[in-house]
Amino acid sequence: MALLTAKTDEQLLEELLPEAERLINRHFGVQKEWFPHEFIPWTEAAKLDENGNCPESENVDEATRSALFVNLLTEDNLPYYYNDVNRMFGTSDTWQYWTRRWTAEEGRHSIVIRDYITVKGLIDPKELERARMAQVEGGETPHPAGVRDGFAYLAIQELATRISHHNTGKRLPDKEGQALMRRVAIDENLHYLFYRDLASAALEENPSATVEAIDRQITNFQMPGTGIKDFVKHSKKIAKAGIYNFAIHSENIVKPLVFGHWKIDKLTDLTDAAKAAQEHVIKFSEKISKIGQRLFPKSESEPALAESI
Ligand SMILES: [Fe+2]
Ligand SMILES: [Fe+2]
């Protein structure tokens, strides 16, 4: 079989237009309108003290507050994700429409999580605002090299975000908090499905070029929140509490994507470079699974949200 020459990003986006249209229509078939203010327990608003600081909240443990802090600041960095997605997806109507729609949906996440944190008095609002300013001023985000890398990165990142929001919500003591984090996780799940299936279409179009991109993104993946103040300190608490850690990343993100959905191990007729990438990503996935099990043997697996639509 003749091996294909990889298309340019512009040619690939043109080729995948019908698939993008199908996925946008599918998205609208399941996405429901929702309003951030309806998820907030306004009547329970925490009183600030005379210095404008919030009182220490006793009901939510430190790891859960770390997760809310990191999750919210990650959502706050939306201007930079928009910038990247807009740059990657170009100017044709369909891709532009998705970029704008996705941005609007993402914008709700920081609104609802911030309102909840403020009303419940879970994090000092001044600390949170200073961290937001630093995060957005820093503008630190991963920059996938091209469209194939972008699809793979976004699929991994949306799934990681879904799991992180969902697991954070499960630890909140009130049903309003649980419901709103679940609602945000449902959005992330739909975004994940969109990008995962675009990566699948790109794999079908050119398995060699796409497996190389998937290898790069799986083996170098970083959550978009790495520029957040005290990120390492918060990440350690989040990992120890089983909200998001190496084992969850390996078992609930890498394995289902690499072996379950993209079936990287089953690809044939690859170029030499792609065969090397295939082998590399498979070995990496197996290796991090072993490390994850050793470091976090009791990590729970993520209860399934609707994975397929
Ligand atoms: Fe989000
Ligand atoms: Fe998302």
| CATH code at position 208 | 1.10.620.20
* Distance (Å) of CA 97 to CA 47, 75, 112, 232: 42, 20, 24, 36
Q: What does the pLDDT read at residue 114?
A: 97
How far, in Å, from the CA of 148 to the mean position of ligand 2? 18
Is the residue at 52 inside a domain? no
- Cβ atoms 184, 110 nearer than 8 A: no
Identify whether 14 is part of a domain. Answer: no
Instruction: Please indicate, yes or no, if residue 4 is contained in any of the structural domains.
Output: no
Q: How far is the CA of 244 from the centre of ligand 2 (A)?
A: 17
pLDDT of 249 reads 94
Q: So what's the pLDDT on residue 235?
A: 94
- Residue 21: closest CA among 103, 104, 98, 102: 98
C-alpha to C-alpha distance for 234 and 230, rounded to whole angstroms: 6
Say how many CA atoms lie within 13 Å of 37 toward its Cβ: 0
Question: d(Cα 40, Cα 154) in Å, to the nearest integer?
Answer: 29
Q: What is the pLDDT of residue 220?
A: 93
The pLDDT, as a whole number, for residue 143 is 86
Residue 298 exposed, middle or buried by CB count within 10 Å (0-12, 13-18, 19+): exposed
Is 92 within a domain?
Answer: yes
| CA–CA separation, 149 and 277 (whole Å) | 13
In a domain, 34, yes or no: no
d(CA 158, ligand 1 centre) in Å: 8
The confidence score (pLDDT) of residue 301 equals 57
Distance CA 274, CA 279 (A): 9
Q: What residues make up the domain containing 204? A: 58-295
Which of the residues in the chain have pLDDT under 50? none
CA of 195 to the centre of ligand 2 (A): 10
Is the dihedral angle over the CA atoms 267, 272, 275, 281 positive or is it negative?
A: negative
Domain count, the chain: 1
pLDDT at 44: 82
